[in-house]
Amino acid sequence: MLPASLAQVAGPGSTMIAWIITGLGTMFLALSCAKLGTRIPKTGGPYEYAKLAFGDFIGFTNAWLYWTASWISNAAIITAIGSYSASLIPALKTNGLYAFLYTSAILWIFTILNIRGVKEAATFETAITIFKLILFILFIGVAAYYFNPKFITPMFPKGKGMNTVPLAAAITLWAFSGFESSAVAAGELKNPEKNIKRSTILGLLIAIGFYCVLSFVAMGALPQNILAKSNSPMSDILAVNLGSGVVKIFLVSVVITIFGTIVGWIMLTARMAYAVGKDGLFPSVLAKVHPKYGTPYAALIINGILTNLVLLMNYTGSMVSAYNFMILLSALAYLPVYATMSAADIMLLVKREKKFTLWSFIKNSIVPLIGLTYAIWAIYGSGAETVLYGFLMILLGVPFYLFMKLKDEKGIAAIREFD
């Protein structure tokens, strides 16, 4: 659905610039993540780095934002499944209750799959990822064949010039969120010192290449005004050029590939909640492990309930508008986490020369500083309303933090010894 979201807010030129900026900016963030994950291979990733570098409150804030962003992202992914499925099941377009029940069933089927075992879920996700790459290659080939240069001109139409690049960049960031997944699951990986760096950087490079090419050919395969209104842009492109028979097969394939995405994200969300619950900064119930399957079942169930509430709210408006809002809000919530991760890289791992100067600081911190600068710029690009909601998300976490700290008798006694 990203091609439609981007066509609504930006022209072809601004969109491609946004992809390039986001790809480069995210790569600098990923380099910091890979370095930290290699040196500090603990489950929780960005939460652990922030806690080590800046203390419990910043660590909690990182975890809170990441956790809330992740179950909002889960709702966005499942909404995309519902949107593509609606082209196969017309009742999902016209009946909000049917759409809600359908997406809720998908959520709980894959939540139960994750509860039953990480190995089963990982095997399913790996198989679907390979299938997804093949499907994307086929779509890119078809869209490139029917590419019409007239559809991408003018590159910067009136009202969608360079000033739309920041907002478009905020939307494109959502495609790359998850590059830190290896770091979040570091405590469960074999040889994390080697595998985190490889999977983070290689995975992101593949994603950048695929998304840039896919977005470009999609813009050239359908007029911009039609693309902006599409609930399932990839299938609409195929319908125009190849007919409805091929589209139905493609739609089923797309839904299957998104199943693979949601399986991974459901477990990633639970892993973060589990890590923080184990440390006592989230309720201890989130750290409960299933006695038979050894999975964080309580975190998975609570995440499922929260995601279901977001899905319920979705069906008061169109799928596209709900999807757009969710990806902007979740991308914004991830950005402070990524920014803090870059700052933690500087604080924990950057070499400090004996003669400390501004120049030596910049020279030794250049990669995380670029990542931090990009994250700040992307927050600005999200727009005032989305930033306001993001700020409110942070504030909503503060009472939970205070409650968890006050529960710790020894910890609060140490804090209050200020005489």
For residues 44 and 52, give the distance between their C-alpha atoms in angstroms, rounded to a whole number.
Answer: 12
CA distances from 389 to 78, 101, 385 (A): 22, 27, 6
> What pLDDT, in 10s, does the model give residues 163-193?
888 888 888 887 888 888 888 877 766 777 7
Residue 322 pLDDT > 70: no
DSSP 199-217: HHHHHHHHHHHHHHHHHHH
Which pLDDT does position 6 carry in this prediction?
Answer: 87
Residue with tokens 């960031």: 173
Question: ∠362-368-371 over CA atoms, to 5°?
Answer: 115
Q: Which of 71-75, 317-321, 336-340 is predicted most confidently? A: 336-340
Residue 389 pLDDT > 70: yes
Task: Check: CB of residue 305 under 8 Å from CB of residue 283.
Answer: no
> What pLDDT, in 10s, does the model give residues 54-92?
999 999 999 999 998 888 889 888 888 888 888 788 888
> What pLDDT, in 10s, does the model give residues 223-254?
888 888 877 788 788 887 777 777 788 888 88
Which of 31-35, 41-45, 126-130, 402-406 shows the lowest per-residue confidence on average (mean pLDDT)? 126-130
Residue 308 pLDDT > 70: yes
- Its domain, for residue 84, covers 2-415
pLDDT confidence band for 412 (50 / 70 / 90): low
Structural domains of the chain, count: 1
For residues 79 and 315, give the distance between their C-alpha atoms in angstroms, rounded to a whole number.
Answer: 10
Which pLDDT does position 373 carry in this prediction?
Answer: 93
Residue 107 pLDDT > 80: yes
Which pLDDT does position 1 carry in this prediction?
Answer: 67
Which pLDDT does position 340 carry in this prediction?
Answer: 93
Residue 386 pLDDT > 60: yes
CATH code of 403's domain: 1.20.1740.10
Mean pLDDT of 197-215: 87
Which pLDDT does position 16 carry in this prediction?
Answer: 92
Any idea what DSSP says for residue 388? Answer: H
Residue with tokens 């006695």: 291
Which pLDDT does position 285 carry in this prediction?
Answer: 92
Mean pLDDT of 320-341: 77
In the predicted model, what is the mean pLDDT of the chain?
A: 84
Residue 221 pLDDT > 90: no
Question: ∠80-82-86 over CA atoms, to 5°?
Answer: 120
> What pLDDT, in 10s, does the model give residues 84-102?
888 788 888 778 788 889 9
Residue with tokens 């950048």: 208
Which pLDDT does position 341 carry in this prediction?
Answer: 93
Mean pLDDT of 247-270: 84
| Percent of the chain's residues with pLDDT above 90 | 23
Which pLDDT does position 50 carry in this prediction?
Answer: 92
| Percent of the chain's residues with pLDDT above 70 | 92
Name residue 96's beta-bridge partners. none
pLDDT confidence band for 320 (50 / 70 / 90): low
List, in order, residues 6 or more apart from 31 with CB less than 8 Å away. 201, 367, 368, 371
Name residue 43's beta-bridge partners. 185
192: Cα separation from own chain's centroid: 22
> What pLDDT, in 10s, does the model give residues 23-48?
999 999 999 998 888 888 888 889 99
Residue with tokens 């007239």: 150
Q: Which of 205-219, 231-245, 310-324 is predicted most confidently? A: 205-219
For residues 396 and 375, give the distance between their C-alpha atoms in angstroms, rounded to a whole number.
Answer: 22
> What pLDDT, in 10s, does the model give residues 348-384?
887 776 777 888 888 888 999 999 999 998 888 777 7
Residue 317 pLDDT > 60: no
Q: Which of 82-96, 148-162, 293-307 is predicted most confidently? A: 293-307
Which pLDDT does position 321 carry in this prediction?
Answer: 60
Mean pLDDT of 269-290: 90
AA identity, residue 355: K
Any idea what DSSP says for residue 87? Answer: T
Mean pLDDT of 94-120: 86
List, in order, residues 6 or more apart from 313 with CB less than 8 Å away. 322
Query: Which pTM value belongs to this model?
Result: 0.84
DSSP 123-174: HHHHHHHHHHHHHHHHHHHHHHHT--GGGG-SSS-TT-SGGGHHHHHHHHHH
